[in-house]
A and B are shown apart, each in its own frame.
Chain A
Amino acid sequence: MLSGVFHGSILFLVSAGLQVVFGVQKIFNLACGSFYALGAYVGVSAVGWYVGAGGPPALFIAPLAVAGLAVGAVGVPVERGLLRFVYDRDETFQLLLTFAIVLMMEDAIRMTWGTSPRSTSGLYLTYGRVGVLGTTVPVYNLIVIGASLAIAVLIGWLLTRTTFGWIIRASADNREMTEALGVDMRRLHTTVFTLGTALGTLGGALVIPATAAMSEMGIELIVEAFAVVVIGGLGSMRGAFVGALVVGVLRSIAISVYPELEMLLIYLIVIAVLVLRPRGLFGGPPA
């Protein structure tokens, strides 16, 4: 159950990035999975370097998070160099482009880090375990759950209280009108895409003490993130939050009860949502 919440927290970070990019750019960014994978590999390397340099193990989470966030900067060249050319093209084309990015990044990761899984040896339990609700969980999981909650609150605050957040919500609704209020859309697109990317890479970095970084992890996560946005509703932050929790918890229940059914259960729910409530739990009214 709590491992489901842990997985849900990671999933939330990546899905939140997916949602904010979809909201403003109207592009369903499959590459969010690759950014997640990239964050994981960079996280492994950063922690490896940190431990090698003699940093105290108890603080390994700091270089991990910093590296995860920093590598989000790769969003800038991806948006400026690729995505901006397809904003006026149709959705199929945009989707194909983001899929091309997935394939390119997968190759780039293989070339840089090789094909065998990479992990941070033994740091997962640095903080020990505690008993919660009758089970024991690694303290690291609780830290990540807490960080993810804090980020959720921060995003909520950003969207409702800051000018930047208002501009994001306004441009998600009406891009042309937002420009007519003096907002430089090109800059906004780069900023938002980089923010979305950084959420994905951070998610990837935070997951790797618990699991090894593997080149297929990106694709797997895209499938789950897709389930999250279908369940929560495309473009909705609250949807990402609830959807990620639902998918994370269901996945862990399925794994403990009947592992073969892991993804099947999630697909069944996705299909049920698509049939009964096509816009998801928090999706907007029909456009």
Chain B
Amino acid sequence: MLTVDAVDVFIQASHILRSVSLGVGPREVVCLVGRNGAGKTTTLRTIMGYLRPRAGGVEFRGHPIHGRRTHEIARLGVGWAPEDCGIFGDLTVAENIEIATRTRPGGRPATERIELAFRVFPMLRRYAGRKGPELSGGERKMLSIARALALDPELLVLDEPFEGLAPAIIPAVSEGLAAITELGRSILIAESNIHHVPEYTHRLYVIERGAIVFAGAQEDAWRDPGLARIIGSAT
């Protein structure tokens, strides 16, 4: 589904990503874990086309997408929920979701897509008429994922979906994500807190100072003492 192949990314003069590779298969949940500043957001922003790799490539469903513009990548079927949620404050919750069905029409009917987004995050239904600034952090996170889902994508790319959530809300978001994979979508999650990595994650990548230092199953990551130090302290 998604293959990131040995990308090198520079932001101005600094070399941020060093030969980062990762893959997400159909229906897979993949987590990219790393401490603050390790390069998670940079990796995801490269996938989304906000940043261009200087070397290496990104493929989505067989199409090379590095060098494509962000809106083209979105139209190919990649849904994006950024770290800061990117909620449109001037639109209501319902409009934030519906706009994704209008900017990428085609495929499943809009009503179905909207209904699905609300079904995955039922809490949002109560706030349908509210505007962005009136939402709590958790509601914003859910809305941001729901909107990405309403785009009807094959792959969702989520930057720290659990960050700043009240502990009581984390299960709701986690269940929502599980429901999304059951619908046949793939999910790539960036996470700085290893304890937030959902148990249903198929594969884990650990990134440290812009390089992937581990790829494999969650349990195996814990067995590696050097790695446990990195991700164990990643809070």
Q: Which residue of B is nearest A166, CB measured?
A: B99
Give A54-75 as 1s and 0s: 1 = Cβ < 8 Å from B's Cβ atoms: 0000000000000000000000
**In the complex, are the beta carbons of B104 and A172 less than 8 A apart?**
no
Where the two chains meet, the residues of B that have a C-beta atom closer than 8 Å to any C-beta of A are 48, 50, 69-71, 74-75, 79-80, 82, 86-91, 95, 99-100, 102-104, 132-133, 147, 151
A227 to B133, CA, bound (A): 28
Could you list some 24 contacts between A and B, CB below 8 A?
Answer: A163-B102, A163-B103, A166-B95, A166-B99, A169-B90, A170-B88, A170-B99, A173-B88, A177-B86, A177-B88, A178-B103, A179-B70, A179-B71, A180-B48, A180-B71, A180-B80, A181-B100, A181-B103, A181-B147, A181-B151, A182-B71, A182-B74, A183-B103, A184-B69
Q: Which residue of A is nearest B104, CB measured?
A: A182
Q: A181-B99, A181-B103, A182-B71 are in contact. List 13 more A-B contacts (CB 8 A).
A: A163-B99, A166-B99, A169-B88, A169-B90, A172-B90, A173-B88, A174-B86, A176-B50, A179-B69, A179-B70, A180-B86, A181-B151, A182-B151
Q: Which residues of B contact A183 (CB under 8 A)?
A: 71, 103
Q: Which residues of B contact A109 (CB under 8 A)?
A: none
Chain A residues bordering chain B, tally (CB within 8 A): 19
| The one of B50, B75, B91 that contacts A170, using a Cβ cutoff of 8 Å | B91
- Closest Cβ–Cβ distance, residue A206 to chain B (whole Å): 30
Q: Which residues of B contact A182 (CB under 8 A)?
A: 71, 74-75, 103-104, 151
- Closest Cβ–Cβ distance, residue A82 to chain B (whole Å): 21
A185 at the interface (CB under 8 A from B): yes
Q: Which residues of A contact B95 (CB under 8 A)?
A: 166
Assess A169 versus B91: contact at CB under 8 Å? Given A182-B74, A183-B103.
Answer: yes
A285 at the interface (CB under 8 A from B): yes
Where the two chains meet, the residues of A that have a C-beta atom closer than 8 Å to any C-beta of B are 163, 166-167, 169-170, 172-174, 176-185, 285
Q: Which residue of A is nearest B50, CB measured?
A: A176
Assess A185 versus B89: contact at CB under 8 Å? Given A163-B103, A176-B82, A177-B82.
Answer: no
Assess A181 versus B133: contact at CB under 8 Å? Given A169-B88, A169-B91, A173-B88.
Answer: no
Q: Which residues of A contact B89 (CB under 8 A)?
A: 173
